[in-house]
Structure 1
Amino acid sequence: MTWPSAEPLETARLLLEPLAVRHAIEMINALGAQELYRYIGGEPPSMKGLQAQYERQSRGQSPDGKTGWLNWIVRDRTSDRAIGFVQSSLSYNDGALIADIAWLITPSEQGRGAAVEASSAVLDWLRTLHPRRIRALIHPDHAASARVAERLGLARTSALVGGETVWETAPIPSDVVKRSSGQ
């Protein structure tokens, strides 16, 4: 399976750069606040750990090739500072492309619309791939991420995956997906 590669994206206030190992130097600060891990678990990464993670993620797919990985560093245009990331995992389920999306913005930049703006740019880009469904997994108590999902047009479902609520777009009928992707 050949998966697409993340492309640079731009919005009015943000630049989204495809992930590279060199971003770890900047992102160690953006990911350093313990409060970021309240709902997602874990703790701030070490520099060595983040470099290893970015090395894996920048390959663009899981080791078995069954999942595509797309990762963007979110950069503020004005300050040129890395303020977070947006990522998407691509997989096939019964022959239909499914895109999972996640976002994280450093606490000092939260509440200013960066997560919505960056994630909207990624969603628009993902839609060019004609996925059957786009989903986000959000901790049930994470109200801020739930608001981002709502603003992105995702709807809360009753499904849980790993204790997180599935938010998703309405499924695109398979005949529309086939027509739009040239199948």
Structure 2
Amino acid sequence: MSGGSTAVTAEVVRTARLVLEPLRPAHAGPMVRVLADPALYAFTGGEPPGVEELRARYARWARGPAEPDTAWCNWVLREAGADGEPAGTVQATVHPAAGTAEVAWIVGTPWQGRGYAAEAARALVGWLAAKGVRKVVAHIHPDHHASGAVAAAAGLAPTDGRQEGEVRWEWTAPDAAPSEGATNKG
């Protein structure tokens, strides 16, 4: 990405089985059910949010960051053609001028084991690459093997880097120089 544009905003992304829909405060009610299992927070900390807390969080995310060189892109993921019930979220904090993004995902317990997180993460990395992002980063707890598998499926590789005890995973565009200690599988 060059030119310093921050005009990166979430838009609908479709995969073979999923629709990634830009997240809105109105998603808070259905997402409370998706995020209700305390087991989802075993590696990240925290606890299931209430609807008002989630609505306020989503409204803050919709307003965007205070930093003018950063964009927050958040999606609800749903099964394509389903009744519209969300299954999780994916998100990216994009730094357009630097051509980088940090990504994260969460899939509700009832939808886990179906490959949805990997499919959504692959779509997210592809969408970011199409927007000019040259490096994608995720931070994953070293014992969170399922999340590591999602990162690997999306083309990210673990590095020697650590942040608050989490392993730094990276994807670097094929025509960009990888960071020291990183390998590229995608």
TM-score (norm 2): 0.86
Q: CA deviation at 1:170?
A: 3.1
Q: Which runs of 4+ in 1 moved over 6 A?
A: none
Measure how far apart 1:173 and its partner are: 2.6
Could you tell me how far apart the structure 1 residues matched to 2:68 and 2:47 are? Answer: 28
Structure 2 CA distance, aligned partners of 1:54 and 1:129? 23
Percent identity of equivalent pairs = 40
Out of 168, 173, 180, the position equivalent to 2:176 is 173
Which of 50, 65, 88 is equivalent to 1:46?
A: 50
Measure how far apart 1:150 and its partner are.
Answer: 1.0
For 2:8, what is the secondary structure of its paired residue? Answer: coil
Corresponding residue SS for 1:96: coil
1:118 to 111, 117, 120: 120
SS in 2 for 1:115: helix
Match of 1:135 in 2: 137
Read off the aligned partner of 1:121 and give its amino acid letter. A
Question: Is there any run of 5+ residues in structure 2 with no aligned partner, and where?
Answer: 178-186
Among 82, 91, 103, the residue aligned to 2:86? 82
From 73, 78, 86, the counterpart of 1:70: 73
Aligned twin of 1:178 = none
1:29 aligns with 2:37: no
Task: Give 1:9 deviation, angstroms.
Answer: 1.0
Give 3-state SS (helix, strand or coil) of 1:58's partner.
helix
What is the total number of aligned residue pairs between the two structures?
Answer: 171
The CA deviation at 1:141 is: 0.8
Contact preservation (8 Å) 2:6, 2:69: no
Residue aligning to 2:183: none
Calculate the aligned-residue CA RMSD, in Å.
1.6
